[in-house]
Structure 1
């Protein structure tokens, strides 16, 4: 019986988590032609987020500038993992390269790695989702010129609800993937 008690408590705790969870979803790729990249393989390193943006709670900025959690709303996945995978999926769907999130799954290393470091990701009081930071393009074999590229993206919020914030986050990440593709295009 003493062995079953911890399992029972864990089960009850899991049942108590009924907060809705929101996906940081990408819009369907509708482009007919893919962007031709200068590389054939591309690895997306784990996205680095500020601590407040990597929490499971959805946050929004109030009139006083404070970021506060939205009651009863959680991300469906950790934001860093979701962003990393969304960037990889988007680039895979819209470019000519084979793209995967780290760890690289093939025997031969990717020709290029992209390391995204976000300095700001927040639903702001101005009615926009702001995503800013920089991405680094590295190529050990010098297939492309290595560089660091800053980005600042602002996407209007359709609504200040968790679903609106999640949708705007997805659109912002799609725009970032587009900027990465443009920087690697032929």
Structure 2
């Protein structure tokens, strides 16, 4: 094969690799508005399972195994994207100023929220599951339970990466609502 053909084939192959679509984690607008005793709250970096921290979108197969969706990537690193999306949701839902760690404002926040996710996955049962525990540490007195589990299921419209991203975004919006109602009064 002439070198020119080898170069053309190589360029076409490289172009195919670079064309993987990327999907956003972008929850809908907050659906609740809750007053809280805190004026400022810091959301620590959300802890995700290993498969959910990767830049590739994962799904669960019928046999229970977790695999990556071929040629589908998240638009941002999932821990960062989930943390920022959740902080934005909480900032809108609560009367307090909410920001992701590290704390970007002067002084110290009145409270901190830590979220540890155990499951963040499009399941073989047609549901996107977001499950784990969140913790609330308050310097101004009790804002609600110090810890609370969550297990959110959102129906998947399908198994395409766009449908998985949409379901995950809805699940994060529901988690923000759950946390807001927990720390509200």
The two structures share one fold, judged by TM-score above 0.5: yes
TM-score tier (shorter) = 0.7 to 0.9
Match of 1:164 in 2: 163
Match of 1:139 in 2: 138
DSSP 3-state at the match of 1:129? strand
Match of 1:124 in 2: 123
Match of 1:8 in 2: none
DSSP 3-state at the match of 1:151? strand
Structure 1 residue 149: Cα displacement: 0.7
Instruction: Confirm whether residue 28 of structure 1 aligns to residue 29 of structure 2.
Output: yes
Structure 1 residue 63: Cα displacement: 1.5
Unaligned runs of 5+ in 1: 1-12
Match of 1:48 in 2: 47
Structure 1 residue 145: Cα displacement: 5.5
Contact 2:31 2:177 in 1 (8 A): no
Match of 1:17 in 2: 18
Alignment length, in residue pairs?
172
Which string of whole-angstrom CA distances, capped at 9 and with x for unpartnered residues, describes residues 67-103 of structure 1?
1111110001111111111111011112211110011
Instruction: Confirm whether residue 93 of structure 1 aligns to residue 96 of structure 2.
Output: no
Which string of whole-angstrom CA distances, capped at 9 and with x for unpartnered residues, describes residues 22-71 of structure 1?
0011113466xx21112111110000011111001101111111111111
Measure the CA separation in 1 of the matches of 2:110 and 2:59: 38
DSSP 3-state at the match of 2:18? coil
Instruction: Confirm whether residue 114 of structure 1 aligns to residue 113 of structure 2.
Output: yes
Give RMSD over aligned pairs. Answer: 1.9
Structure 1 residue 14: Cα displacement: 10
CA change 1:35–1:64 in 2 (3 A) is same
TM-score by length of 2: 0.87
DSSP 3-state at the match of 2:179? helix
Contact 1:39 1:143 in 2 (8 A): no
Measure the CA separation in 1 of the matches of 2:40 and 2:142: 11
TM-score by length of 1: 0.86
Measure the CA separation in 1 of the matches of 2:66 and 2:145: 35
